[in-house]
Structure 1
């Protein structure tokens, strides 16, 4: 699972490293999430919503345990909020 954060958006995707294929991905730019994202008060809340959405997509795709690739970002703030929401949603790290 690879995460990317910018000043405005947060994205995450689950990638099969052996085949080089993306299994599922979620972004704060996704149209399905826009109604939930309007309720978010800050960027940390946006990361939580993205983490929950990725966990739901991973369950429907029957993805097993994953490894969190922080992409060099510290495990703090938005990355931590995303990871905790994904775990709470049922994704195994």
Structure 2
């Protein structure tokens, strides 16, 4: 029997292969039951340009729900990416469905000026 994690990673592999083929910066999103993480990864795949998560002290203060926290993470990653000189990225949802926290993070990053 195939586990949920194995299925998710199988879905993610196809997206990551396409993004690598395009050779663009990648906004990678990961989530656990409690936290949401986002990273901007260089086209070569070996360097983290910017990162933000619900573990950061900036995000933790005053947030009660997961979706509100994900929205804050999205705005913060966009701000840090722009500070590093990255304007346009490819969105890598890591095999997760595009709803809930993943959708909230993506929409907040778009509103903050990140293009994808």
| 8 Å CA contact 2:60, 2:69 repeated in 1 | no
Q: Name the structure 2 match of 1:67.
A: 90
**Counterpart selection for 1:49 from 68, 72, 94:** 72
1:37-89: per-residue Cα shift (whole Å, max 9, x none)?
x2x23101110000001111111111031001100000111100000000000
| 8 Å CA contact 2:75, 2:108 repeated in 1 | yes
- Give the helix-richer structure, 1 or 2: 2
Q: Name the structure 1 match of 2:17.
A: none
Q: Name the structure 2 match of 1:79.
A: 102
2-structure distance, mates of 1:32, 1:85: 16
1-structure distance, mates of 2:86, 2:103: 21
* 1:13 has 2:39 as partner: yes
2-structure distance, mates of 1:30, 1:46: 11
What is the Cα deviation at residue 19 of structure 1? Answer: 5.0
- RMSD over aligned CA atoms reads 1.1
* 1:3 has 2:32 as partner: no
2-structure distance, mates of 1:41, 1:82: 15
Q: Runs of 5+ in structure 2 lacking a partner?
A: 1-26
**Counterpart selection for 1:28 from 28, 49, 54:** 54
